[in-house]
């Protein structure tokens, strides 16, 4: 099962839980499972200023990005620079 | 086991060079169009005030005036519309609000109205005739003051007063980590607002045609971002706007936002003529994004072995008038060079009555690295460990987890530190009394984002390259070199052109150190497609199945043709070959930079002289080493100016009192020595040539390196940047 | 709008007459009236040097000179440095030493450096830095500019002495 990490400030929605293991073939499938467990959490995670990182790389595919059973998923700030 | 290249790693003369040394290259302000008229912007004299009334009638009546616009001329749009440019979201109301104020002015210099007239002088006269009644409000100028209870509030609709956003990263067990420490050092440091300082002021020319299309010519880091932002502000479809990027006179992050483009378009619509707007230098200082001033606290605990056991940081950055203070990257990078198990980072994005901030080379990172790297210097001194050795014991490596979550892929932190340690500079003695040597390192992520390129083979064996990355420092050449490497040609055989937004696929900004990486990848992919098509032509010509291609020669069964020979035969083997690629890559490789600096501080005057500087950076692979060195030298010089002298000097009413180059005083040739460079190459596995991108990380170390050098020279740990004579003498 | 004044000059060795308002700077006249946009405006108040041109036998920041003051004078701008298609040794050196990034400061540096080399054919690093301190560059940190000027100085002196020897 893939591991999804919750950003610190989103942990208010998860009762303090920092990460969760869920099954799914894409980030989107993981999100459906997580939303079922914590209703409303998607709006805190799927935002234009958060990028999705799968296995330590920001993915331009977003929720369509495939995940492996041992994948790590993070939601990190979308930044590019100067 | 380094790969050998034919073109990559050489130093050809840039393709746009002759135009740029003879004055032929056309920058934004150089544009002349038939019937073109010129504009001027009226700016607020107040840092915070309610706009009660704007009367433009006298300006409109002045002979020679064609049009006057205010925020009332923006088309109606839902106030909560969010605009997403592929990196973060901005509410349309903020975007518009910064371009032309409505309701309130939020900083001295905030644009209020604009005029177009027969020439710039008449436009300026007319702007002065616009009557604005203000109700002045108390202003607040620093993050700590703006966060205090009872502070004047900029945006009444915000939920948390002037705190627009908050960020927190945590890992491990902070209390347990500090409990393991045998030495804990905590410091708080402030940095002043500084400006990117590009020499070319912002400019934009627009023509709103009778067919509804809007053509913009401007100096921008990203023509597509300028197009999309202009379309959003004017509430027209993106396809209605075409941006032609002119040559650009520096940006450093400051020429991503739009300021003038939509205003020029509105003026043009009213006037029925092309309208050119060019900022004065004072407008640039007071009306465009500086980089945030900040307060950063860092607390680091180490054990006797010099291993960091815990680290904590609190950061408050001044966003200026609208949210987006770069505190997020500041927080993400504050400990990014180190492998630390127990971390807590809290950041606050705070609005204040200063110009809305913009990106500036590794935005946010120099501010936070200043605190971390000076605390580490103090720890090294107290432990009696060499400061580079202390960093080596804690350096981030492949697999190290950053506080924001992800783990590093291959990263060159150890290699940069080793190169610093081995450098002749680090091993040379200091020249005399009152001298000190400081070191520091810094990290920047770099970016991917979409890029596009088209390659067309000419019958003479050369190749035209069409791309959309505006060229600020030689990217035409670093991109051409990547095409040439794949095609077995010389850099001079590629003819690069940067085109308008109608003429190439979407391309993100020239920023985030991404152009050589991302557009380079698009060029590489398009070049590989060219090779495949050319192979197919050779196969057709020779009636064979498989054709080899190496070093610019196609061959099969003992027959061979050079690239140029085959190019000459394209017409008779199926027609011209032209290939396009658009990428949106993963595989971005972050860059680590380090600085060694020697200073001499005059004990009587407090003036700091820079004696010797060595900049070290991991380029991944240096495509054009001279341009890599140039980025390192430029970022270092900017960082030294930031460290020692530059600042927005605001009076209590929020007026910038040093809004000219004379008074702002950026480094001149006389203030700096030669800047030695050491390019480290730890190839990025995410790029075919190993490119990481080198535009930004180099500005991260100088603030802290200067602070550490001044400490070694004077025995004083300063808590404020700029470390000018007044700070050093404690005045 | 005030009445226009006729100004007679020699620009880059060619006679040029133009009409300008008394309030127009020489920089504005060169760029907007004559159409020579190679000279750049970075500040308009004499502090960046990107508008540097040669007026008579001295270099000036053309944003601080009025167009009418140029009457009867000869002016050299960046457009006048090359001989036809042959670049001036300074222009060549700037390209070979990657002494420009964005290039907006380059015209001013070239004119100022040309004047330096006429006065001090082999300037020291210190002399070069001192002379060019009125020209701001925000991209390069000056390193490669100083090296390019020194390389051009050597090139010019060598060419001259070779010429003399032949
Ligand atoms: S434009 Fe004349 S000195 Fe800056
Ligand atoms: S090269 Fe950009 S200012 Fe000098």
A59·B446 Cβ contact <8 A:
no
Question: pLDDT for B309-362, tens place per residue?
Answer: 999 999 999 999 999 989 999 999 999 999 999 999 999 999 999 999 999 999
User: Looking at the domain that runs over C89-165, which CATH code has it been given?
Assistant: 1.10.150.120
Model confidence pLDDT, tens digit, residues B449-463 = 999 999 999 999 999
pLDDT digits (tens, 9 = 90+) for B661-696: 999 999 999 999 999 999 999 999 999 999 999 999
Owning domain of residue A26: 2-77
Does residue A82 lie within any of the structural domains? no
What is the rounded average pLDDT of the residues B36-43? 98
Q: How far apart, in whole angstroms, are the C-alpha atoms of residue C117 and residue B422? A: 38
For ligand 2, say whether the CB of C110 is within 6 Å of any of its atoms. Answer: no
Quote the CA–CA distance of B8 and C16 in Å, as a whole number: 46
The CATH homologous superfamily to which domain B31-137+202-278 belongs is: Aldehyde oxidase/xanthine dehydrogenase, a/b hammerhead (3.90.1170.50)
Q: Is the pLDDT of residue B86 over 60?
A: no
A60 φ, ψ to 5°? -70, -10
H or E stretch at B21: helix B17-22
What's the pLDDT at B81?
A: 78
Per-residue pLDDT band for B88 (boundaries 50, 70, 90) equals low
Same fold for the domain at C5-80 and the one at C89-165? no
Instruction: State yes or no: pLDDT of B2 exceeds 80.
Output: no
B266/B100 Cα distance (integer angstroms): 11
Express as a percent the part of chain B with pLDDT over 70: 99
Helix (H, G, I), strand (E, B) or coil at B344: strand
Peptide bond into B722 cis (omega under 30): yes
- For the Cβ of C74 lying below 6 angstroms from any atom of ligand 1, the answer is no
CATH of the domain at A31: 3.10.20.30
Give yes or no for residue C108 CB within 6 A of ligand 1: no
How far is Cα C154 from Cα C166, in angstroms, rounded to an integer? 18
* Cα of C12 to nearest chain B Cα, Å: 12
Token look-up 């946010």 returns B364
Q: Is the CB of C133 under 6 A from ligand 2?
A: no
pLDDT beyond 90 at B731 = no
Architecture of domain B448-583: 2-Layer Sandwich (3.30)
User: d(Cα B640, Cα B190) in Å, to the nearest integer?
Assistant: 16
From the list B118, B252, B273, B115, the residue with the least C-alpha distance to B205 is B273
What pLDDT, on a 0 to 100 scale, did the predictor assign at position B1? 42
Q: Which residue has the tokens 């993050």?
A: B143
Report the gap between the CA of B346 and the closest CA in chain A (Å): 10
The predicted pLDDT at position B3 comes to: 77
For the beta sheet containing B37-43, the strands, ordered from the edge strand earlier in sequence to the opposite edge, are B65-70, B111-117, B37-43, B275-278, B203-208, B214-218, B241-245
Residue in B closest to A4 by C-alpha: B405
Specify the pLDDT at position B325. Answer: 85
Summary mean pLDDT of chain B: 97
- Taking the C-alpha atoms of residue A22 and residue B162, their distance in angstroms, rounded to an integer, is 38
How many Cβ atoms are within 10 Å of B289's Cβ, its own excluded? 27
Mean pLDDT of chain C: 96
Fold of B294-446+588-729: Aldehyde Oxidoreductase; domain 4 (3.30.365)
Chain B residues in contact with A8 by the CB 8 A cut-off are 168-170
Ligand 1 centroid–CA C49 distance in Å is 5
* Domain-located, residue A54: yes
Q: Could you give the ipTM of this predicted complex?
A: 0.98
How large is the average pLDDT for residues B36-48? Answer: 98
- The CA-CA-CA angle for residues B629, B633, B636, to 5°, reads 140
Q: Report how far residue C39's alpha carbon sits from residue C52's, in angstroms, rounded to the nearest whole number.
A: 7
- CATH top-level class of C5-80: alpha beta
- Going by C-alpha positions, the residue among B252, B208, B263 that lies closest to residue B230 is B263
CA B207 / ligand 2 centre spacing (Å): 29
Comparing CB atoms, the residue among B84, B89, B513 nearest residue A81 is B513
Residue-level pLDDT at B316: 98
B117 touches chain C (CB under 8 A): no
3-state class of B195 per DSSP?
Answer: coil
Phi, psi of B14 (to 5 degrees): -70, 150
Residue B527 to residues B133, B486, B493, Cα–Cα distance (Å): 60, 6, 13
Closest Cα to atom 4 of ligand 2: C137
Is the CB of A80 less than 8 angstroms away from the CB of B512? Answer: yes
What's the mean pLDDT in B216-223?
98
Picking from B135, B112, B134, B114, the residue whose alpha carbon sits closest to that of residue B59 is B114
Structurally, how many domains does chain A consist of? Answer: 1
Q: Give the pLDDT of residue B630.
A: 98
Quick check: C31 pLDDT over 90? yes
Check CB contact under 8 Å for C102 and B199.
Answer: yes
Q: Do the beta carbons of residue B394 and residue B339 sit within 8 Å?
A: yes
Give the pLDDT of residue A39.
96
Question: Distance of CA C72 to CAs C25, C54, C63, Å?
Answer: 16, 14, 18
State the Cα–Cα distance between residues C151 and C145, nearest whole angstrom: 10
Other C-beta atoms closer than 10 Å to the C-beta of C140 total 27
Report pLDDT digits (tens) over B461-499: 999 999 999 999 999 999 999 999 999 999 999 999 999
* Res. B701: pLDDT tops 50: yes
Q: For residue C88, give how far its alpha carbon lies from the nearest alpha carbon of chain B (Å).
A: 9
pLDDT for the residue numbered A68? 97
Can you give B542-604 as a three-state secondary structure string? HCCCCCEEECCEEEECCEEEEHHHHHHCCHHHCCCCEEEEEECCCCCCCEEEEEEEEEEECCC
User: Is residue B404 over pLDDT 50?
Assistant: yes
Q: Taking the domains of chain B in order of start, what are their residue ranges? A: 31-137+202-278, 294-446+588-729, 448-583
**Closest ligand, as measured to the CA of C25:** 1
In tens, the pLDDT along B226-246 reads 999 999 999 999 999 999 999
Contact state of B696 with A76 under an 8 Å Cβ cutoff: no
- Mind giving me the DSSP string for B373-403? HHHHHHHHHHHT--HHHHHHHHB--TTPBPT
Per-residue pLDDT of B152-206, as tens digits, reads 999 999 999 999 999 999 999 999 999 999 999 999 999 999 999 999 999 999 9
Q: Would you tell me which residues 90-149 of chain C have a C-beta closer than 8 angstroms to some C-beta of chain B? A: 91, 94-98, 100-107, 110, 125, 128-130, 132-147
Those residues with Cβ within 8 angstroms of residue B317's Cβ, 6 or more apart along the chain or in another chain:
B143, B292, B293, B294, B325, B326, B327, B330, B347, B348, B349, B350, B357, B364, B367
Look at chain C and count its residues.
166
Flag whether A66 is in a domain: yes
pLDDT number for residue C86:
97
Three-class DSSP category at B331:
helix
pLDDT digits (tens, 9 = 90+) for B520-545: 999 999 999 999 999 999 999 999 99
Chain-chain contact of C1 with B63 (C-beta, under 8 angstroms): yes
């Amino acid at each position: 099962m893939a591991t999804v990490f919750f950003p610190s400030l989103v942990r208010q929605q998860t009762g303090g839980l920092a990460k969760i293991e869920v099954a799914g073939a894409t980030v989107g499938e993981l999100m459906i499972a997580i939303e079922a467990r914590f209703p409303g959490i998607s709006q805190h995670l799927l935002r234009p200023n958060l990028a999705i990182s799968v296995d330590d790389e920001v993915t331009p595919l977003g929720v369509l990005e495939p995940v492996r059973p041992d994948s790590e998923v993070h939601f990190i700030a979308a930044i590019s620079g100067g | 086991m380094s790969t050998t290249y034919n073109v990559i790693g050489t130093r050809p003369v840039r393709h746009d060079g002759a135009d740029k040394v003879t004055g032929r290259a056309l920058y934004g302000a150089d544009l002349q169009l038939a019937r073109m008229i010129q504009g001027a912007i009226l700016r607020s004299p107040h840092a915070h005030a309610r706009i009660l009334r704007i009367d433009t009638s006298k300006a409109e009546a002045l002979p020679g005036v064609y049009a006057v616009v205010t925020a009332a001329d923006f088309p109606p749009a839902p106030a909560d519309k969010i605009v997403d440019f592929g990196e973060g979201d901005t509410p349309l109301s903020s975007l518009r609000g910064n371009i032309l104020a409505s309701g309130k002015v939020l900083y001295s210099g905030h644009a209020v109205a604009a005029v177009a007239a027969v020439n710039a002088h008449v436009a300026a006269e007319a702007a002065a005739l616009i009557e604005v009644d203000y109700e002045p409000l108390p202003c607040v100028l620093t993050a700590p003051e703006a966060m205090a209870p009872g502070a004047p509030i900029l945006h009444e609709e915000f939920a948390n007063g002037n705190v627009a956003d908050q960020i927190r990263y945590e890992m491990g067990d902070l209390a347990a980590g500090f409990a393991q420490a045998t030495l804990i050092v905590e410091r708080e440091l402030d940095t002043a607002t500084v400006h990117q300082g590009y020499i070319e002021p912002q400019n934009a020319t627009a023509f709103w045609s009778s067919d509804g299309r809007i053509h913009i010519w401007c100096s921008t880091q990203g023509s597509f971002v300028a197009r999309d932002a202009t379309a959003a502000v004017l509430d027209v479809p993106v396809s209605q706007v075409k941006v032609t990027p002119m040559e650009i006179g520096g940006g450093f992050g400051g020429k991503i936002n739009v300021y003038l483009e939509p205003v020029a378009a509105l003026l043009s619509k009213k006037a029925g003529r092309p309208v050119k707007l060019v900022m004065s230098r004072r407008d640039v200082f007071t009306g465009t994004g500086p980089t945030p001033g900040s307060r950063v606290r860092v607390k680091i605990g180490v054990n006797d072995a010099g291993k960091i056991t815990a680290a904590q940081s609190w950061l408050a950055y001044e966003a200026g008038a609208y949210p987006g203070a770069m505190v997020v990257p500041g927080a993400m990078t504050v400990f990014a060079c180190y492998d630390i198990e127990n971390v807590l980072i809290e950041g606050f994005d705070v609005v204040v009555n200063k110009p809305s901030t913009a990106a500036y080379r590794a935005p946010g990172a120099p501010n936070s690295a200043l605190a971390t790297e000076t605390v580490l210097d103090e720890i090294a001194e107290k432990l009696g460990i060499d400061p580079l050795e202390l960093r080596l014991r804690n350096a981030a490596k492949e697999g190290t987890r950053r506080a924001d979550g992800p783990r590093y892929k291959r990263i060159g932190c150890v290699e940069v530190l080793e190169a610093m340690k081995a450098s002749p500079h680090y091993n040379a003695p200091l020249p005399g009394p009152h001298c000190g040597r400081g070191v520091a390192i810094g990290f920047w992520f770099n970016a991917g984002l979409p890029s596009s390129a088209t390659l067309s083979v000419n019958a003479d064996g050369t190749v035209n390259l069409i791309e959309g990355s505006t060229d600020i420092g030689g990217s035409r050449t670093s991109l051409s070199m990547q095409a040439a490497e794949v095609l077995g040609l010389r850099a001079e055989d590629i003819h690069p052109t940067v085109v308008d937004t109608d003429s190439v696929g979407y391309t993100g900004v020239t920023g985030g150190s991404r152009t050589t990486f991302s557009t380079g990848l698009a060029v590489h992919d398009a070049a590989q497609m060219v090779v495949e098509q050319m192979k197919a032509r050779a196969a057709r010509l020779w009636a064979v199945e498989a054709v080899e291609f190496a070093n610019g020669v196609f061959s099969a069964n003992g027959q061979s043709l050079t690239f140029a020979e085959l190019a000459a035969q394209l017409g008779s083997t199926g027609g011209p070959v032209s290939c396009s690629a658009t990428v949106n890559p993963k595989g971005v490789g972050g860059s680590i930079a380090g600085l060694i600096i020697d200073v001499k501080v005059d004990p009587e005057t407090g003036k700091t002289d820079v004696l010797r500087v060595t900049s070290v950076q991991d380029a991944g692979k240096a495509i054009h080493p001279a341009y890599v060195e140039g980025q390192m030298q430029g970022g270092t010089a900017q960082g030294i100016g930031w460290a020692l002298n530059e600042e927005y000097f605001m009076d209590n009413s929020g007026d910038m009192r040093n809004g000219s180059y004379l008074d702002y005083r950026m480094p001149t040739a006389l203030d700096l020595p030669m800047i030695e460079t050491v390019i480290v190459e730890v190839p990025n596995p995410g790029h075919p040539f190993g490119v990481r991108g080198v535009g930004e990380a180099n500005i991260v170390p100088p603030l802290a390196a200067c602070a550490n050098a001044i400490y070694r020279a004077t025995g004083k740990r300063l808590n404020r940047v700029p470390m000018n004579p007044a700070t050093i003498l404690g005045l | 709008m005030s009445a226009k004044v006729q100004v007679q000059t020699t620009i880059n060795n060619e006679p040029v007459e133009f009409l300008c308002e008394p309030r127009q700077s020489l920089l504005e006249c060169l760029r907007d009236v004559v159409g020579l946009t190679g000279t750049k405006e970075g500040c308009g108040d004499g502090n960046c040097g990107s508008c540097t041109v040669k007026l008579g036998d001295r270099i000036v920041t053309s944003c601080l000179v009025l167009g009418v003051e140029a009457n009867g004078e000869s002016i050299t701008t960046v457009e006048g440095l090359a001989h036809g298609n042959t670049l001036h040794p300074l222009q060549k050196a700037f390209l070979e030493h990657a002494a420009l990034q964005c290039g907006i400061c380059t015209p001013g540096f070239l004119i100022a450096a040309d004047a330096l080399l006429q006065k001090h054919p082999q300037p020291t690093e210190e002399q070069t830095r001192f002379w060019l301190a009125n020209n701001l560059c925000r991209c390069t940190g000056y390193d490669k500019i100083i090296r390019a000027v020194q390389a051009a100085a050597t090139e010019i002196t060598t060419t001259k002495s070779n010429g003399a020897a032949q």
